[in-house]
Amino acid sequence: MPKHRTEDTHEPRPRTGTRPDRPRPRHRKPARALGRFVPLVAAGVVLASGGALAAELGDSATSDPAHALGAASGGNVLTAAELDAARQEQLSRGGGRRVLEVEQRDARMVARLEARAERLQARRERERKRRAAERERRQALAEARAWRPPLTGYDITATFGQSSSLWSTVHTGVDLAAPSGMPVTSTAPGTVTFAGYDGAYGYKVVVEHENGTATWYAHLASLSVNVGEVVSHHTVVGPVGSTGNVTGPHLHLEVRPTGGEPVDPVAALAGQGVHL
């Protein structure tokens, strides 16, 4: 049986090897199409649920947002005050962290300031002790170099420059009458350059001091030091006696600057702060 051929309404494709100009369909990427489709679906769901919720809650859902929110969240109605309190709590949490950070920073700063103050106080204390030690050292040095009277109790019976038949020349020193045996000390630190018997001077000790001045101690009952010995104003050079050319126990004291001629002992010792 012959097959019936349906009439083809489409135009035959040209056989020239070229296709007719036909607009190509734009194929959208699946991801972009899906991205546009999802919000539409979500919006539809929200609208449907919102309509159902509004129908269930009635007019109160639209008139009271807090009531609608409370109903949607399980039936607990949140008032405006409660919403504000919730917001304040959220803010306070962040503010609390900030306050804690500030307090910690301030605590570190206070600790640093306290440590600095302690170091400064320790430095001041060390400086105070150093100055006190320096003062004590200077005082001790001044005490060691100080001049003192050779006797603690005496009477001046003859002064420098007097003339008498008792002396071959004028008197070259000062006589300090005192009981026999009273200790005689050096007037200042120095070194013993003579210790022995010297004619009319009797037992005599000569001490040379730091400034070159020599002091003589004559008519001693005995000698308590030796040549080369270093003495201070506390060192006893001998006891008061009456050896040599004397009329009674006393100390004959002479002062000879730089080992030269004698000078008035009263004036010389006054220049050293010693008043006989």
Burial class (CB in 10 A: 0-12, 13-18, 19+), 76: exposed
Degrees, nearest 5: CA angle 180-171-184: 30
Largest separation between any pair of C-alpha atoms in the chain? 197
Please give the share of the chain, as a percent, with pLDDT higher than 90.
Answer: 46
Select the more confidently predicted residue: 84 or 69.
Answer: 84
Q: Alpha-carbon distance 270 to 263, whole Å?
A: 12
Measured at the CA of 167, the angle between CA 163 and CA 173, to 5 degrees, comes to: 75
| Dist. CA 155–CA 97, nearest whole Å | 91
To the nearest whole number, what is the mean pLDDT of the chain? 78
CB contact at 8 A, 162 and 170: yes
Strand partners for 194: 206
Per-residue confidence at 169, pLDDT binned at 50, 70, 90? confident
Which residue type is seen at 217? Y
In this prediction, residue 81 carries a pLDDT of 74
Q: Which of 65-69, 78-82, 193-197, 252-256 has the lowest mean pLDDT?
A: 65-69
Q: What percent of the chain has pLDDT over 70?
A: 67
pLDDT score of 82: 72
CA-wise closest residue to 217 among 261, 265, 169: 265
33-50 core/surface letters (b: 16 or more CB in 10 A; e: else): eeeeeeeeeeeeeeeeee
Mean pLDDT value across residues 228-233: 93
User: Residue 273: is its pLDDT beyond 80?
Assistant: yes
The mean-pLDDT minimum among 24-38, 47-61, 95-109, 209-223 falls in: 47-61
262 three-state secondary structure: coil
The closest of 177, 156, 261 to 216, measured between CA atoms, is 261
Would you say 204 and 185 are in contact if contact means Cβ atoms under 8 Å apart? no
CA–CA separation, 258 and 80 (whole Å): 109
- Asked if residues 254 and 218 have their Cβ atoms less than 8 Å apart, the reply is yes
CA atoms within 13 A on the CB side of 40: 5
Mind listing the pLDDT tens digit for each residue in 126-164? 999 999 999 998 888 888 788 999 998 899 999 998 887
- 48 pLDDT band (50/70/90 cuts)? very low
> What confidence score (pLDDT) does residue 49 get?
47
- Output the pLDDT for position 68: 46
CA dist 35 and 42 (Å) reads 11
Strands annotated E in 159-189: 174-177, 183-185
Tell me, what's the pLDDT at 33?
47
In 3D, which of 238, 274, 258, 248 has the Cα closest to residue 158?
Answer: 248
| 106-118 confidence digits (pLDDT tens) | 888 889 999 999 9
Q: Write phi, then psi, for 187 (nearest 5 degrees).
A: -70, -20
SS3 state at 252: strand
| Two tokens, residue 142 | 């001044």
Tell me how crowded residue 154 is: count the other CB atoms within 10 A of its CB: 21
Mean pLDDT of 176-184: 96
In this model, does residue 249 exceed pLDDT 60? yes
Cα distance between residue 155 and residue 147, in whole Å: 19
